[in-house]
Structure 1
Amino acid sequence: MYLLSSIFQNPEEMFDILQSSLLPMIKGALYYSIPLTLISFTLGLIIAVFTALARLSRFSVLRGIARVYVSAVRGTPLLVQLFIIFFGLGSLGVEFLKLEPFPAAVIAFSLNMGAYSSEIVRAAIQSIPKGQWEAGYSIGMSYSQTLKRIILPQATRVSIPPLSNSFISLVKDTSLASLIFVTEMFRKAQEIAATNYEFLLMYMEAALLYWIICFILSIIQGRVEARLDRYIAK
């Protein structure tokens, strides 16, 4: 009610506040939120592939290590993981463990994304019929060649929709990086709100920007999935 009354009483002032805060928030998104998402997702996907292959390995040690990693990451909150990597490791007094906010956020988000995405990749690989493996072996391919040339391309098409959802979720999760002083979009909203005291207005503006970014990504996701469906149908 306070926000609505302020808008109706001082619409020009509210518009000026929104307009002046828009560019800093967009810069926070372009300089930190989006790069953090892209880097973390890329590294997380690499971790996910190796973790999924370890889960499917015939070596029990590799399966055990991968299982513990996935269980530990999925069983603890992302915020706790962020704090452990940034504040916890930094408090040990070891110089190389004292990370800057952005690298610490990249590590935390990558490890988190790797654990969750590894289950998607593993399920995608397991969804490929065993006959595909046998076909590769029958023409003289090794395990790695069959995996690289036959299995992974098919598994990629299967895993793109859920991985796209994970990517969109990661965009929103980057707001947690504000708690370890990464000046991404939500951190900018907090800083601006601390000067003009329009906390609700600033947070709603940040929420709107997150929504717009995720909406655009959802449209892109839909088009990619539609193209994949046409490709598979052929």
Structure 2
Amino acid sequence: MARRPGLERGEMTMLQHYYSVTVAILPFLWSGFVQTFWISLVAIVAGSLLGFVIGIVRSQRVPVLHQLFGLYIHILRGTPFLVQLYVFYFVLPNTGIEALQWSSDMAAFVSLSVYTSSYVAEIVMAAIDGIPTGQWEAAASLGLKRIPVLVLVILPQALKLTVPPMSGVYVNIIKNTAILSVIGISELTRQGEITIMRYPRDVLFVYGLIAAIYFVYCYPVLRFTRWAERKVGGTRHIDLD
């Protein structure tokens, strides 16, 4: 059955409308994406470095530090990130300590980095604990001290084990940047909420664009981690023929 010309014109008009909306809001969404990218990048790098150190210390069962870092991790992983963000942005600046009088951007960076470190620390500790004790004993039999054994023998093997779970942590951090809008950070979700005020009838479409941008950002992270897992932790097949 032939399609009615009026229906075709209606579909074209809708497509033109969505196209014009997309063109109008893309600069704002791009600005929010750039903010999301830099905040998540800093949080991932700083949080990974901090978590790496904490994970190593905990794996060595250093007295007092092991318990303190354990409490640190349990508090951060056992409370919502939104609550932690409020503590860093509202509570700590009210202590009167000059070093804690930070801006919303600094509160976002610090809170997200600290939150990231709690997950990375557990992954690193689990990876080190997952190395067979025979590796420690074999290296010690060669006369190596504990720290050289850790650095030269254990950590290279443990890092391979950290690659798969890190992808989930990093994607989770990227998605958690959406919560930063509550303290005025103009990240992607916040910019989307601002544009919805201009186009209240296109709420579903705007949020669909936001979700698509998050997906385009997160998917390469997952693919890169899969690639790194194959390169770093893959099994090498040797042809004996």
TM-score in same-fold range (> 0.5): yes
Q: Structure 2 counterpart of 1:133, which letter?
A: W
Quick one: distance in 1 between partners of 2:96 and 2:234? 56
Q: Show the counterpart of 2:185.
A: 182
- Partner residue, 2:44: 41
**Structure 1 residues 88 and 123 mapped into 2: Cα distance closer, same or farther (>3 Å)?**
same
Q: Are 2:119 and 1:116 equivalent residues in the alignment?
A: yes
Q: How many residues align?
A: 228
Let me know the Cα RMSD of the aligned residues.
2.1
Q: Distance in 2 between matches of 1:140 and 1:229?
A: 28
Query: Does the 8 Å CA contact 2:171/2:221 hold for their aligned counterparts?
Result: yes
Distance across 2 between alignment mates of 1:221 and 1:174: 20
| 2:211 is the alignment partner of 1:214 | no
After superposition, the Cα gap between the structure-2 partners of 1:8 and 1:176, relative to the gap in structure 1 and judged at 3 Å, is farther
Q: Which residue identity lines up with residue 165 of structure 1 in the other structure? A: G
- Rg (Cα) greater in structure: 2
Q: Which residue of 1 aligns with 2:6?
A: none
TM-score by length of 2: 0.86
Report the CA distance between 1:112 and its aligned residue: 0.9
- The answer to whether 1:29 aligns with 2:46 is no
Percent identical across equivalent pairs? 27
Aligned pairs for 1:5-16 within 5 A = 10-16=14-20
Name the CA distance, whole Å, in 1 between partners of 2:234 and 2:70.
Answer: 36
C-alpha separation in 2, matches of 1:156 and 1:68: 24
Deviation at 1:222, TM superposition (A): 2.0
**What's 1:203 paired with?**
207
Q: Which moved more, 1:97-106 or 1:218-227?
A: 218-227
CA shift in 2, pair 1:41/1:7, >3 Å:
farther
Q: Is the 8 A contact 2:44 2:113 kept in 1?
A: yes
* Pairs within 5 Å for 1:36-115: 36-115=39-118
Higher mean displacement: 99-108 or 57-66: 57-66
Change (3 A) 1:72 1:233: farther
Q: Is 1:140 aligned to 2:143, yes or no?
A: yes
Q: Deviations over 1:145-195 (max 9, x none)?
A: 111111111100111110122111111111111111111111111121123
1:9 offset after TM fit, Å? 5.9
State whether residues 161 and 233 of structure 2, in contact with CA within 8 Å, keep that contact through their aligned partners in structure 1: no
CA change 1:58–1:10 in 2 (3 A) is: closer
Query: Which runs of 5 or more structure 1 residues have no equivalent in the other structure?
Result: 1-5
Deviation digits for residues 108-135 of structure 1 (CA, Å, limit 9, x no counterpart): 1111111112111111001111121122
2: CA distance, partners of 1:7 / 1:66 = 59
Hey, what's the Cα distance between the residues in 2 that align with 1:123 and 1:96? Answer: 34
Q: Is structure 2 residue 211 aligned with structure 1 residue 228?
A: no
- Secondary structure, aligned partner of 1:22: helix
